[in-house]
Amino acid sequence: MKNEHKTLIKAAGENALILYFSSTINDKTASKIQCATLKIKQSLSNYILDLTPSYASLLVTFDMYKIDHHQLRNKLRTLLATIDDVQAPNHQHIVELPVCYHEDFAPELPLIAKQASLSCDDVIQLHQSTVYTVYAIGFAPGFAYLGEVNDKIAMPRLATPRLKVPKGAVAIADRQTAIYPNTSPGGWNIIGCSPIIMFDQKATPTMPVNVGDKVKFTAISKEEFFTLGGKFPMFHD
Amino acid sequence: MLGFLVKKPGVLSLIQDSGRFGHAQMGLTQGGPADKEAFYWANRLCNNDVDVAMVEVSVGGIELLAQLDTVIAVTGAKMQLSINAKEVPMWRSHQIKAGDLITLDYAQSGLRSYLAVKGGFKIKESFGSVSTVCREGVGGLKGSQLLKHDLLPCDEYKFSETDYSLMLPADQVPHYGQSARLRTIPSYQQQHFNSFEQRLFYSSEYSVSSDSDRMGYRLKGQAINCEVSGILSEGICHGAIQIPADGQPIVLLNDRQTIGGYPKIGSVISIDTNKLAQLRPSDKVHFEPISMEKANNIFHLSRHKSRAVTLIKC
């Protein structure tokens, strides 16, 4: 049987359940979550307020006036049973995103290099050498979670999150990497900055990437960063 | 279109409707009133639909000039409400004439009050809602808090001599204290906090940090240890209690990040996050575990109770 793949449904809050599809990051799980998100939208939209898919989970926020957690759990079970083994789609689309790794833009770069016993240039090289998958968009509008970073440069989050991370900051947390689309609090290790706007509510499309896209980073100089519209980032602790 | 002209914007005044739902996949948070109870009463006192847009006034200091006749009501944190420099009571509706000046002084108790107008403010929606989330630059008039010279459009309402005002019975008016009990559903990564840490968490008193806002309330006190320092980033529900590596809990509210990777010990029920959002720095809270069943009952009973209240005509 496929017991090891059985989706776990847990309580999150008074009006939210969370579905855990797997405990690891992989393309197959990502496809399964995309499929479940779509199916729930199609058949349970009357009860659902919001859906928050991520790497290996899906948060289902429901309308307490229309359904309770017991009933919803049953409906989700029934629905999940109809999701066949979904194959990972074959994405060819690669979005290239420029990053300036200059030391002025990369407060945690030396820290990661030291921990990995590598030079800063090696860390920059390794960060660019992977073609990443967009596993989720969340935390803030346009914040794309990219996986997976080379194990050597993986780094745990800061013990105390920064109150302000500048717009465009490129950062690492464990084996995830991302670009901060706007100034916000955050606990990831910053290794560079990108001048690309990751979320523009007036633009079409709103975001340069979507869940499932492939992303590659390319190093640019400080001059190129400013030419591409980048603003000098301010770092606070 | 006519409406209310902002003469003084106050410390943090935000247009809010019941919130933005269905866009978490793009990373858009829900926004909406931090104190849903006070929001509900302000709309009911104006005989509005329960989810129309009003102004959430944090801390106070707002002054609005009416350009038309209408009806308003103010609920929530205790702030001195004046119409043309004459003090009038909160928790009841008031008839407003074009040219009237409405002021809300700084909060004496509680933190956020709610100013509703008959029919609600008429503002263009972004992603299905007018709720302002400053960090995202989404909602409100220009994605920001109210600024001097802003115009808040609304419909005119000509009252007749048979019209009456509505008032919430005094015994129904919520009390805003300096502490709150936060009933919590143990959930999410609860299993990664051992029973000792859970007991510590539920028996300790925490104080509200000055870094608290509509995104989350940061608390200070007994540090809580988790067996894991991070998890795969996952969806965060309203009221979720995040425990970062420094062990200091953060209760996530309306403007929270949609996804995050710090472990969570449980989630506070919405009736109690209403109370939390009215607290100020150094106010005290404690957590109390309750089952999902009990949380469900409390939610529905409180809704029935509110609906059963008959407003006083005056």
Domain boundaries defined on chain A? 8-80, 94-227
Q: What DSSP designation does A174 have?
A: B
Which of A64, A68, A139 is closest, CB to CB, to B260? A139
pLDDT of residue A26: 84
Contacts of A181 (CB under 8 A, 6+ apart): A140, A141, A142, A143, A167, A197, A198, A199, B27
Task: Using only the alpha carbons of chain B, give its radius of gyration.
Answer: 20
Mean pLDDT of A151-165: 92
B118 or B25, higher pLDDT: B118
Average pLDDT, chain B: 97
Q: Look up the ipTM and state it.
A: 0.96
Confidence of residue A212 (pLDDT cuts 50, 70, 90): confident
> So what's the pLDDT on residue B36?
98
Quote the CATH superfamily of domain B179-308: Cyclophilin-like (2.40.100.10)
B199-214 average pLDDT score: 98
What does DSSP assign to residue B43? H
**Number of Cβ within a 10 Å radius of residue A175:** 16
Contact B266, B186 (CB under 8 A): yes
Confidence class of residue A1 from pLDDT cuts 50, 70 and 90?
A: very low
Encoded tokens for A199? 């979320």
Instruction: Look at B296 and A69 and tell me if their CB atoms are within 8 Å.
Output: yes
Give the helix/strand (H/E) hosting A134: strand A132-137
Is residue B162 pLDDT above 90, yes or no? no
Residue A22, phi-psi category: left (phi > 0), alpha (psi -120 to 50), beta (remainder): beta
Is the predicted pLDDT of residue A32 greater than 50, yes or no?
yes
**Cross-chain residue pair A184–B23, CB shorter than 8 Å:** no
**CB-CB contact of B144 with B137 (8 Å):** yes
Whether the predicted pLDDT of A88 surpasses 80: no
For chain B, what percent of residues have pLDDT higher than 70? 100
Using the predicted structure, report yes or no on whether residue B179 has a pLDDT greater than 70: yes
User: Quick check: A14 and B233 CB within 8 A?
Assistant: no
- pLDDT over 70, % of chain A: 93
Read off the pLDDT of each residue in A97-121 and give the average, rounded to a whole number.
96
Question: How much is the pLDDT for B247?
Answer: 97
Those residues with Cβ within 8 angstroms of residue B130's Cβ, 6 or more apart along the chain or in another chain: B15, B16, B17, B53, B121, B123, B124, B139, B140
Strand partners, A62: A48
Q: Which fold has domain A8-80?
A: Gyrase A; domain 2 (3.30.1360)
DSSP H helices, chain A, are 27-44, 69-81, 109-116, 120-129, 222-227
Cα(B107)–Cα(B280) distance, integer angstroms? 11
Share of chain A above pLDDT 90, in %: 68
Interface test mutation site (partner A, options B26, B134, B215, B287, max chain A beta carbons within 10 A): B26
B105 compared with A160, residue with greater pLDDT: B105
Q: How distant, in Å, are the alpha carbons of A133, A233, B55, B135 from that of A192?
A: 19, 10, 39, 22
pLDDT at residue A91 greater than cutoff 80: no
Q: Which two tokens stand for residue A17?
A: 């359940």
- Section B226-248 average pLDDT: 94
CATH class for the region spanning A94-227: mainly beta
Nearest-CA distance A227 → chain B (Å): 25
Omega prior to B293 cis, within 30 of 0:
no
pLDDT band for position B175 (cuts 50, 70, 90) = very high
Residue B136 scores a pLDDT above 60: yes
Is A50's CB within 8 Å of B24's CB?
yes
pLDDT at A123: 97
Q: What is the mean pLDDT of residues A35-59?
A: 94
CB proximity B128 to A under 8 Å: no
Q: Is the CB of A157 less than 8 angstroms away from the CB of B245?
A: yes
Cα within 13 Å of Cα(B62), Cβ side? 31
Per-residue confidence (pLDDT) for residue A28, from 0 to 100: 84
Distance from CA of A147 to the nearest CA of B (A): 11
User: For the residues A99-124, what does the mean pLDDT come to?
Assistant: 96
Task: Show me where the domains of chain B are located.
Answer: 3-171, 179-308
Contact list in A for residue B260 (CB cut-off 8 A) is: 139
Residue A13 forms contact with B (CB below 8 Å): yes
Are the C-beta atoms of residues B210 and B285 closer than 8 Å to each other? no
The pair of three-digit structure tokens given for residue B129, joined into one six-digit string: 């809602």
Of A52, A54, A141, Cβ closest to residue B136: A141
Probe site for chain A from B234, B268, B271 (most A CB atoms < 10 A): B234
Whether A84 contacts chain B with CB within 8 A: no
